[in-house]
Structure 1
Amino acid sequence: MRFNNAVPGVFLILFAMAEIAYATTFPRLHGQNYGPDLFPTLIGIGLIVCGAILIFQGIAQRGAVPMVQIGRWAKTPDNIVNVAILLGSIVLYILLSGWLGFIPLSLLILTTLLRRFGSGWGTSIIVAVVTTLVIHTLFAKLLLVPLPWGILLPVAW
């Protein structure tokens, strides 16, 4: 799928405006003219400028590049199913990660995706287990960002 530059430019500006609006909710520091909202606001302004540049480029190219062009891959039913499974996995993680936990859900999602994309059962399970444990360890030990334990909370290490 291919987009004219104006399309992502509009989304970039909308995202930047939402980011700036959220940054204004950060608490102010007493006695200072700037606070924790300064850098997110500056980044948002930069994103708005980049989005405007993309929109102007897209307007200049509108005769040569259509707004949306669907690629050949999107006309194959298997590829559409693959995209649906991938997006469904993301939604499933968002909805169930608090209850089920990162480890079981990651094992389920990775194994399903690896099987769907052509790996054998053994390879899929081994790669899913190793990847899940590496990601969990990196987040929990190195980055100090706890991932949800869910049903494994009684055996959390």
Structure 2
Amino acid sequence: MRISDRVIGPVLLLFGVVVIWGASGLPTVPGVRFGADLMPSLIGFCLIGLGLSIAIGGFASKERDRLLDISEWNVSLHHKLAAIWSLGGLILGGLLFEDIGFPLLGVIYMAVLMTLMGTRPRTTAAVSIFVVAALYIGFSKGLLVPLPAGLLGGILP
């Protein structure tokens, strides 16, 4: 599958603008020299720069390819579904993040993706639970970044 640079560049550029716009709404912390919006804004500016670079290259190219070419996407149905789930699951997760919570949503996302990619059920369960638990503990306890527990709020510390 190939997506034209004439599509990818503007999408990255737009995503960079959205990141900067979202970062501008982050609250300031009293007594801190740099606000919470610094890193997201820098990432947004980098996305804008990369998007511009890719778009300019795509529009300047003499070769006019199709915007989306799936004619050579000869993979199994499981791999096609995994590709669709990798994006669709992130969108669904973004919409349900607060309600379901990071731990449960993370395990579901990883388990579905790993199953679609053909891993064994025992491996899928062990890896998805271990990775999500490590991320949850690392962020909430180590970095003091609160992640929503969602449906598991009464169970998790």
TM-score, structure 1 normalization: 0.68
Match of 1:115 in 2: 115
TM-score, structure 2 normalization: 0.68
Q: Are residues 137 and 88 of structure 1, via their aligned partners in 2, closer, same or farther at CA, if it must alter by over 3 Å? A: same
Match of 1:140 in 2: 140
Query: Which amino acid letter does the alignment assign opposite residue 11 of structure 1?
Result: V
Cα deviation per residue 1:40-92 (whole Å; 9 max; x = unaligned)? 38963x65554444333223323265544336336653332222333332233
Shift of 1:133: 1.0
Identity %: 28
Moved over 6 A (4+): 23-27, 35-39
Match of 1:92 in 2: 92
Structure 1 gaps, min length 5 = 28-34
Match of 1:12 in 2: 12
Query: Which amino acid letter does the alignment assign opposite residue 147 of structure 2?
Result: L
Shift of 1:150: 1.5
Distance 2:80 2:89 in 1: 14
Count of residues in correspondence between the two structures: 150
Match of 2:125 in 1: 125
Distance 1:58 1:127 in 2: 39
Listed as ranges, the matches of 1:46-57 within 5 Å are: 48-57=48-57
Structure 2 gaps, min length 5 = 28-33
Shift of 1:132: 1.3
Moved more, 60-69 or 133-142: 60-69
Distance 2:112 2:47 in 1: 36
Kindly indicate which of the two structures has a greater share of residues assigned to helix: 1
Query: Which amino acid letter does the alignment assign opposite residue 94 of structure 2?
Result: I
Match of 1:31 in 2: none
Query: Which amino acid letter does the alignment assign opposite residue 80 of structure 1?
Result: K
Match of 1:79 in 2: 79
2:69 equivalent to 1:69: yes
Distance 1:100 1:152 in 2: 8
Q: Are residues 8 and 137 of structure 1, via their aligned partners in 2, closer, same or farther at CA, if it must alter by over 3 Å? A: same
Q: Does the 8 Å CA contact 2:79/2:117 hold for their aligned counterparts?
A: no
Listed as ranges, the matches of 1:4-43 within 5 Å are: 4-19=4-19, 40=41
Distance 1:129 1:100 in 2: 16
Higher CA-based Rg: 1
